[in-house]
Amino acid sequence: MFILPYQMKQLQCCHHHSAHWNQPRPLVEKRSRRRLTHHLCHAAAPAPASQSSNKKHRVVFLGTPEVAATVLQRLLTAARQPDSQFEVSRVVSQPGKPKGRGNKSVPVPTPVELEAQGAGMVSGEQIWCPASAKDPAFLEALRQLQPDLCITAAYGNILPQAFLDIPALGTLNIHP
C-alpha cells in the first residue's frame, strides 16, 4: 500500500474509492486531505477484478534537495511492488548548479536527479530539468504525457496555473 510517511498513523483505508481513478477530478487544492488520502491509498491497492487492467497510473515527481530524494526513493519502491497501480513515469528537478571553486562551468546533478539515475531512469528522457516550470516546451511535454497526479517535495520553483491544470487528479505538495 502506498502511504506517505506523515499519513501512517492517520490513514484508515476505505473500501469504496478505488473506482474513482478514471473519473475527472478537480485540483487537489479544492479537495480535502482525507478524500485525497483515500485516492492515494487506492492507487497502490489491488483493483477489484472487474476493474483490473494493465494500465498503471502515471505519477510525475518534482523535487530537488536530499530530503526530496528520500521521498522519490520511497515512491519508486512502492511503484515496484507487484500490486502497485501507479508508476513514476517522470522525475522533474531543478537544473544542476556548479559546485566548488574550479567547477564554475560543470553543473552537478541534484540529489533527486542522482536518485532517479540510480533507479535506472534516463536524463532527458525520464528525468527533466527545465530552467523554469513556465517553459512552454516543458508544459507541452507534460501535457502530452497526460499524468494522473504530480507530487512535489521541495521542488524550489513556483508552479504556474498552466502546470497545475495538467494532471487529471491535480498536484500534491508534500512537506517531508
**108 and 98 Cβ atoms separated by less than 8 Å:** yes
Q: What is the mean pLDDT of the chain?
A: 77
Average pLDDT over residues 16-44: 41
More confident residue, 142 or 102: 142
pLDDT tens digits, 79-121: 999 999 999 999 999 999 887 776 667 788 999 999 999 999 9
> Closest by alpha carbon to 70, among 13, 112, 33, 19?
112
Average pLDDT over residues 69-81: 96
Answer whether residue 155 shows pLDDT above 70. Answer: yes
If residue 97 lies in a helix (H) or strand (E), which one and from where to where? strand 97-98
Average pLDDT over residues 69-78: 96
In the three-class reduction of DSSP (H, G, I as helix; E, B as strand; rest coil), residue 118 is classed as helix
Query: Alpha-carbon Rg of the chain, whole angstroms?
Result: 17
Answer whether residue 17 shows pLDDT above 80. Answer: no
d(CA 79, CA 81): 6
More confident residue, 76 or 103: 76
More confident residue, 161 or 17: 161
